[in-house]
Chains A and B, each alone.
Chain A
Amino acid sequence: MKVLLFGTCLVDTFFPGVGEATVRLLRRFGAEPVFPQAQTCCGQPAWNAGYEPEARAAAAHFLSVFDGDDPIVTPSGSCAAMVKHHYPGLFRDDPRMVAKARRAGERIHELSHFLVHVAKAHEAGLRGKGTVTYHASCHLTRSLGVREEPLALLSSLKGATFVPMPDAARCCGFGGTFMAKLPEISCALAEEKAAAIEATGADTVTGCDSGCLMNIADAMKRRGTPVRVAHLAQLLAEGI
């Protein structure tokens, strides 16, 4: 099955390892990922900061690049949520574009959702190691409703122990441009998250959004917490 891979601007620019892991995983489960080279960003930074025309420009570009019928897979809950929930409204005055946006919203899968519902990866017996805890990022859980899928994948890892994090779905303070606009609050929230991670005693923390993981990793570095931060895609790909 051909799937279109939306890498996200953050993975593309800062975390190529997450993209590579996503490719390996998709291939392992019989999908044939194709990365449309013309892709850029879903437009979320502009949308969340109130810049509608800029967000619309990004969305229109996304829709033209990801046109077609193939499923779209992305290793990011918040980018998938952007496409699914905010694209149609951006084009409210253009019924043709609204329809296009709706179709894209139906075709897009956040990676863990695709792995569980389409690829049945949680039944594959991937290997893992150590103790792993999980941060449930906001848009993934509340906007997309993807709550159980990452947990199913994590607890299926042979040889790894999953330890739940208290208040796992509490925001890490990233919030896209929030991080830049109110850095003090963002850091305070990330530190609380880091403390919660520390308290689990896990040696690895994982999640499905690179932005949150980046913010968390920074706070852990500041605290000197020696916990590894890995995107779920990376963790799963290691066990292939």
Chain B
Amino acid sequence: MSHGQTSLRFRENSVRAMGDDALRAAMKHATGTFGSKRAEAFAPVEDVEGLRDRASAIRERVLSDLSGYVDRFVAAATRAGATVHRAVDASAAREIIAKILAGRGAKRIVKGKSMVSEEVELNAHLEAAGMEVVETDLGEYIIQMEGETPSHIIVPAIHKNRRQVGKLFAERLGVPYSDDPQVLTKIAREALREKFLSADAGISGANFAAAETGSLILFTNEGNGRMVTTVPPLHVAILSIEKMIPSLADLPDFIRLLPRSATGQPITSYVSVITGPRKAGDATGAKELHIVLLDNGRTEILAGESRDILKCIRCGACMNVCPVYRTVGGHSYGWTYPGPMGLILTALLTGMANSHPVVDASTLCGACVEVCPVRVPLVDLILQLRRRKVREGFAGPKEMRGMALFGAAAASPGRFALGQRMARILWPFARVLGGKDVAGRMPPPARTPFRRSAP
């Protein structure tokens, strides 16, 4: 399961995706449902704006001293009996995890949903080392079976409809076809139960990490997160460093905000708080806990102009409302994270040379900013990236020349009026000469510009 690096082909990817009727219908349906459920879920919450301000301030506080919070987390988690590893980049993370697993002779691994593990392409690496890795989140299970990657950070199989899932299960699992979501869930549960019981290790991500106590916090709906982290004897958690919150006292605000923003649920079915491995007298828990803290470019982002993206709590609300995401689906963006937050992370984490077309994948409509629970200034960040793209020379030469002309005309009324006259004369040619994308969709310039009759 490899992401490939197809951000550079955003336009081609999106055209292909738009030709897929099933995908478009599934996207439209799912994102529409999340949108209306989100509004309903927030309706009874008192002072939503105050809640968002508080959550935003907590995240801001963490970013203002991220290395301090990380150090405190490491110390507390270590005291609680966990082994904490720091991974500078994706390959370091992969190797650390592979080494832990190999060292314990782990062959069969169950996994909870983790976008960070997608970011470092963990599964392929472990499979190459001869391990079996089974995704246990229903959506992830489906796309793993299909050999795909998630197309949404919360709802990995958002692009599929239940008939496609029914067919997939019938083919791969040899069960009778059904497109009833309850039946399908049951089929997956049964297939996974045996995997849980025989697993040597569980790998999970984390939604948050509380610095004061060294606790990992996981939000899940299917209970699989709880199984992954407690049933096998060994638990390995991987998370990126910015997932810190100062203490468990900060958690309730996020419990209120994240599920509502993500899927429109007032709360998720399970909120697991894991502090260290199982201790004497504990009823559950893995015997051994390893935590891998991934940097992979975060420290650099933190020091730069785009640091506010690190406030993101990965709720996916911005993609659910993004007109572009809703139309082209998550795979079009070409890397782990799609939608508004995703295009920003893609450009920052994979580099402008590998991703510059995706920074154009926004109409700047601002719907994302309106819903973001922690007030990430997504539009400002996208504009910043576009400026960087131009500065670093990734804009096309035709566009650069056009914009230089625009700048000259906008600063001089004489040149501007000349431009208007030229447009009027050249319009028919522009239409014929490959300008059909733009010129063909605009009316011809008026015979007499408004300025001639204006008071």
A residues sitting closer than 8 Å to B (CB atoms) are: 5, 7, 9, 11-16, 18-20, 23, 33-35, 37-41, 43, 45-55, 57-58, 60-61, 138-139, 142-143, 169-171, 173-176, 178-189, 192, 214-215, 217-218
Residue B281 interfacial (CB < 8 Å): no
Given known A40-B416, A142-B367, A215-B441, contact A7–B450 (CB-CB < 8 A):
yes
B404-415 interface code vs A (CB 8 A; 1 in, 0 out): 101111111100
Contacts of B441 in A (CB 8 A): 179, 183, 187, 214-215, 218
A-B contact pairs, 14 of them (CB 8 A): A13-B449, A33-B455, A37-B413, A37-B451, A46-B410, A50-B383, A51-B387, A54-B410, A139-B366, A171-B363, A173-B323, A178-B363, A184-B14, A218-B441
A148 to B197, CA, bound (A): 58
A40 to B399, CA, bound (A): 20
The A-contacting residues of B in range 378-406, CB under 8 angstroms, are 383, 385-391, 395, 399, 403-404, 406
Q: Which residue of B lies closest to A39 (CB)?
A: B413
Contacts of B442 in A (CB 8 A): 14, 214, 218
Pair A57/B410 contact, Cβ less than 8 Å? yes
Pair A23/B363 contact, Cβ less than 8 Å? no
Q: Which residue of A lies closest to B435 (CB)?
A: A180
Partner of A50, one of B365, B386, B409, B449: B386
Pair B438/A14 contact, Cβ less than 8 Å? no
* Count of chain B residues with a beta carbon within 8 Å of a chain A beta carbon: 57
Pair B455/A35 contact, Cβ less than 8 Å? yes
Contacts of B407 in A (CB 8 A): 46, 51, 53-55, 57-58
Pair B363/A189 contact, Cβ less than 8 Å? yes
Residue B168 interfacial (CB < 8 Å): no
Q: Measured between C-beta atoms, what is the minimum distance from B165 to chain A in Å?
A: 25
Q: Which residue of B lies closest to A187 (CB)?
A: B441
B222-246 interface code vs A (CB 8 A; 1 in, 0 out): 0000000000000000000000000
Pair B363/A138 contact, Cβ less than 8 Å? yes
A179 to B32, CA, bound (A): 24
Pair B454/A184 contact, Cβ less than 8 Å? no
A34 to B451, CA, bound (A): 11
Pair B361/A170 contact, Cβ less than 8 Å? no
Contacts of A139 in B (CB 8 A): 366
Pair A52/B387 contact, Cβ less than 8 Å? yes
Pair A185/B390 contact, Cβ less than 8 Å? no
A57 to B441, CA, bound (A): 28
Contacts of A188 in B (CB 8 A): 18, 327
Partner of A48, one of B18, B386, B409, B410: B386
A15 to B448, CA, bound (A): 10
Most A CB within 10 A of own CB, among B364, B408, B409, B445? B364
A9 to B11, CA, bound (A): 28
A16 to B444, CA, bound (A): 12
Pair A47/B454 contact, Cβ less than 8 Å? no
Contacts of A53 in B (CB 8 A): 407
